[in-house]
Amino acid sequence: MNRREFTRICSSMVAGAIATGSSPVAHAASERAEYPKTQLLGDKNEPLTADSLTTGIPYLFFYPFISTPCFLIDLGTETSTGADDLIDKNGVGYQWQGGVGPNKSVVAYSAICAHKMTHPAREISFINYRHDKTSFYSHEGRNEERTRVISCCSERSVYDPTDGARVLAGPAPQPLAAIELNYDNATGALFATASYGGDMYERFFDKFGFRAAIEHKVNDPRKLVGDTSTIKKVSDYSSQVIKC
């Protein structure tokens, strides 16, 4: 990015902070926040189908805003019964929808850690999905080893994506926000339609909005994604993916 482009983005963000009528972001902590229906596309901008995902490989897409990253994962195991006892950091309960797709194994979550908002960036990602065995100390102080977890190496929070991203370890005060997926049985297409659970969007924009605008080369990182969002493997998006 050259100096002129950097200056343009900085100026636009200042103007946007003063202007009114920004995209709506604020919602109650665990309110289901419905957004415009967004179809997920493959890396060649073709309509993505659930059966085209490689099991165990974490993908990244942006939703509901152009700068807020989400994980898309085929867990390779059915998760048809949504957890109904999840609680956000404010003590508000909510229910997870479970997996979608032909095997009910495809899930999506916000990739913004619920502790300090660690998230995948182009240079590096300290948060990622681990399909292989991963060791961690549980809240009960036990040394556990599990497959299929989302692990944040910044402060070692561990989430269970097979169970609504429930917190298994670390300082995270709540599960990752879930992204509601719609699956078209006829075509196999996937759509993102809502976000629910305790989301980090407001905090993310307050802390990282300026940097996100520069990274994504946009004037307003709060802009809604729109009709489509293209997926990438996390390893293709971030130059370095940390494992712990």
For residue 64, how many other CB atoms are within 10 A of its CB?
Answer: 26
Closest residue by Cα to residue 75 from 61, 91, 90, 54: 54
138 occurs within a structural domain = yes
64 occurs within a structural domain = yes
The answer to whether residue 23 scores a pLDDT higher than 50 is: no
68 occurs within a structural domain = yes
Whole-number average pLDDT of the chain: 88
27 occurs within a structural domain = no
1 occurs within a structural domain = no
In angstroms, the CA 132 to CA 130 distance is 5
For residue 2, how many other CB atoms are within 10 A of its CB?
Answer: 7
10 occurs within a structural domain = no
Average pLDDT over residues 133-157: 93
CATH number of the domain encompassing residue 140: 2.102.10.10
pLDDT of the residue at 237: 96
Distances (CA, A) of 35 to 64, 73, 93, 176: 7, 21, 21, 18
126 occurs within a structural domain = yes
Q: In terms of residue numbers, what domain contains 230?
A: 34-200+223-237
Map the chain to HEC letters: CCHHHHHHHHHHHHHHHHCCCCCCCCCCCCCCEEEEEEEEECCCCCECEHHHCCCCCCEEEECCECCCEEEEEECCCCCCCCCCCEECCCCCEECCCCCECCCCCEEEEECCCCCCCCCCCCCCECEEEECCCEEEECCCCCEEEECCEEEECCCCEEEEHHHCCEEEECCCCCCCCEEEEEECCCCCEEEEEEEECCCCHHHHHHHHHHHHHHHHCCCCCCCECCCEEECEEHHHHCCCECCC
pLDDT of the residue at 85: 84
pLDDT of the residue at 162: 96
Confidence of residue 140 (pLDDT cuts 50, 70, 90): confident
**Backbone phi and psi for residue 168, each to the nearest 5 degrees, phi listed first:** -100, -30
pLDDT tens for residues 64-116?
999 999 999 999 999 977 777 899 888 888 889 999 999 999 999 999 999 99
Average pLDDT over residues 38-64: 96
Q: How many domains does the chain have?
A: 1
163 occurs within a structural domain = yes
